[in-house]
Amino acid sequence: MNNSNVREAVVFENIPAYATENGTVGREMNLGPGLGDDKWTSTDEDSYMKVIAGSTEEEFDRYCLTLGGIFELLLSREERNGKYRAYKTTDMILFVSFDRTDSTVRVVEDKTSCGIGDTGDTKGNADGVILYQYSLNYVGSAVEYAEPGCMDCGMMYIIKLADNSLFLIDSGHGYQTTARSLTALYEFMKNVSGTEEGKKIPIKAWFFTHAHGDHCGMAAAFLGQKYPMIENLELPDFSDKVEIEKVMFNFPSYCVIRRNFAADETFAIRKALREKFPEVKYYKLHTGERFDFPGASFDVLYTLEDAVDVTGKWPFRDFNSSSTVLRMHSGGKNLMFLADISAAAEKIILRRYNEDELKSDVVQIAHHCINNLDIYDSIKAPVALVSTSLGRIKERLWDNYLRFEKYAVDGCLFEDEVTWKIDFGKDKLPAEALPRYDKQ
């Protein structure tokens, strides 16, 4: 749904026009800001994208040659399914891609990212890389000891990297937020990172899959930023006890796509980051990027940009398909983070990637097992991470569960009664159960 609060902006002003003989150059779409506030109107830092349908690869290559003669090349990747390039202009990053599976070109004016990907020190060394599926306040089989105000969804993963810094994925909901749960999260991250008392926990990056409350509401509270759902709660502020180097997400423009956008939570996170972490580096993720961290790397397989058509509009009613999908590589093993994708996004991913490119050792089950997806037949993961309770699945999601359970010969790990620990430095991936914070 498009909204009139998008003000007129000068876009692609100093960027060469894309030349195509038989293709169709689409209309621009506002992709929103990074850490800016577009709750009431679009901003000067909003990014924009246009889609060219029916282009040829030769036309794309000629366009890249033109861009390379003007701007600094930052990224050049080629995969079986397409090509990805990024250039540094005077005031932005220009990200361009060609999808061989449907002959579509995407050109993005990224006005907020600090860079494109990272080249780090992974080198396949996964010693010390540990994934934690963090247990939140869940209803279901954990309800007997969950605190008041719990939820039946929510998702948070904590990855300890090889240098003991943390890579965080999402957080719980405002309904899962209490003084006790925030304090427990802080203590957990301090312990697993080995942070000494009085020192700040090193967070290499905090990645948010999409702008829904059950994936980012607790993060805002943790960083000391109130919003209506939690404004009357007495909560501790841990923003001065962590050091956040990077924040990563690709949220759409709130002025363009409002249906099911968790505005209160996401704008609270942005405000906390702007005001309390002025040096934080922001990255708007684009398909084709790779981020390397100590002991692990992450490929961006899908973002909301992949669904936009030549009309410059978001074509889906389901906001969950605005999720960003990552695939983690560590120690020769792969972990697929599907976030909350639904069938609409799944269709794009299955068109673009074959089974060899999707097959993983571990998969995070999409949308708390709510969606019944075909993609698990390609991923074939022997370990499944399920961000909901087993009790809820038994009540109403059993058929969806059977779609991936047949492959999960090494275990389906539910995010309710325990926090699960998986050590990527081991030859195999044994899962160790750790007690919930309220059972320690």
* Per-residue model confidence as pLDDT tens digits over 15-38: 999 999 999 999 999 999 999 999
Single-letter amino acid code for the residue at 122: T
Which tops the pLDDT comparison, 282 or 139? 282
Identify residue 346 by its one-letter amino acid code.
E
In this structure, are residues 161 and 132 in contact, taking their beta carbons and an 8 Å threshold?
no
- How confident is the model over 141-150, as a mean pLDDT? 51
pLDDT at residue number 207: 98
Strand partners, 88: 72, 93
Higher pLDDT, 389 or 411: 411
Q: What is the DSSP string of 186-218?
A: HHHHHHHHTPPTTSPEEEEEEE--SS-HHHHHH
Res. 121: pLDDT tops 90:
no
Taking only the tens place, the pLDDT of each residue in 347-377 is: 999 999 999 999 999 999 999 999 999 999 9
| Other C-beta atoms lying within 10 Å of the C-beta of residue 345 | 29
Separation CA 326–CA 320 (nearest Å): 15
Q: Could you tell me how far CA 156 lies from the centroid of its own chain? A: 11
Over residues 182-227, the pLDDT tens digits come to 999 999 999 999 999 999 999 999 999 999 999 999 999 999 999 9
Read off the pLDDT of each residue in 70-95 and give the average, rounded to a whole number: 96
Structure tokens at 146: 């969950």
Residues comprising the chain, all counted: 440
> What are the helix (H) ranges across 365-440?
376-379, 390-396, 398-405
* Contact in structure between 30 and 4 (CB atoms under 8 Å): no
Q: Compute the distance between CA of residue 120 and CA of residue 100 in angstroms, rounded to an integer.
A: 28
As a whole number of angstroms, the distance between CA 387 and CA 397 comes to 13
Asked whether residue 144 carries a pLDDT value surpassing 60, the answer given is no
d(CA 95, CA 111): 11
pLDDT band at 120 (very low <50, low <70, confident <90, very high): low
**What pLDDT shows up at residue 142?**
44
Q: CA–CA separation, 426 vs 137, rounded Å?
A: 30
Task: Place 148 in a pLDDT band, splitting at 50, 70 and 90.
Answer: low
Neighbours of 369 (CB within 10 A): 28
pLDDT at 123: 53
Distance CA 348, CA 257 (A): 20
Helix (H) or strand (E) holding 421: strand 418-423
* Domain spans in the chain, listed from the N-terminal domain onward: 24-110, 130-439
Higher pLDDT among residues 149 and 337, named by residue: 337
Which pair of tokens denotes residue 77? 């990747």
Is residue 310 predicted with pLDDT exceeding 70?
Answer: yes
In this predicted structure, the answer to whether residue 140 has a pLDDT above a threshold of 80 is no
Distance, in Å, from the CA atom of 23 to the CA atom of 20, rounded to the nearest integer, reads: 5
Angle at 251 between CA 13 and CA 233, to 5 degrees: 135
The pLDDT value recorded for residue 411 is 94
> What SS3 class is residue 272?
helix
User: 145: pLDDT confidence band, cut at 50, 70 and 90?
Assistant: very low
* Packing angle of the helix pair 263-276, 213-222 (nearest 10 deg): 30
CATH topology of domain 130-439: Metallo-beta-lactamase; Chain A (3.60.15)
Q: Which two tokens stand for residue 204?
A: 């290499």
Residue 149: name the closest of 169, 171, 124, 175 by CA.
Answer: 175
What mean pLDDT comes out for the span 275-281?
97
What pLDDT is attached to residue 72? 97
Structure confidence at residue 3 (pLDDT): 52
Mean pLDDT of the chain: 92
350-360 per-residue burial string, b: 16 or more CB within 10 A, e: under 16: bebbeeebbeb
The dihedral sign for the CA sequence 211, 212, 216, 217: positive
pLDDT of residue 2: 47
Q: Are strands 72-79 and 82-88 parallel, antiparallel or unpaired?
A: antiparallel
Q: Answer yes or no: are the C-beta atoms of 366 and 373 closer than 8 Å.
A: yes
For helices 179-193 and 213-222, what crossing angle results, to 10°? 80
Q: Is the pLDDT of residue 334 over 90?
A: yes
Place of tokens 């999720």: 323
* Residues ≥6 apart with Cβ < 8 Å to 415: 133, 134, 135, 136, 138, 155, 385, 386, 387, 388, 389
**Structure confidence at residue 153 (pLDDT):** 83
In terms of DSSP bridges, do strands 383-386 and 362-364 run parallel, antiparallel, or are they unpaired? parallel
Say how far apart CA 43 and CA 73 lie, in whole Å.
27
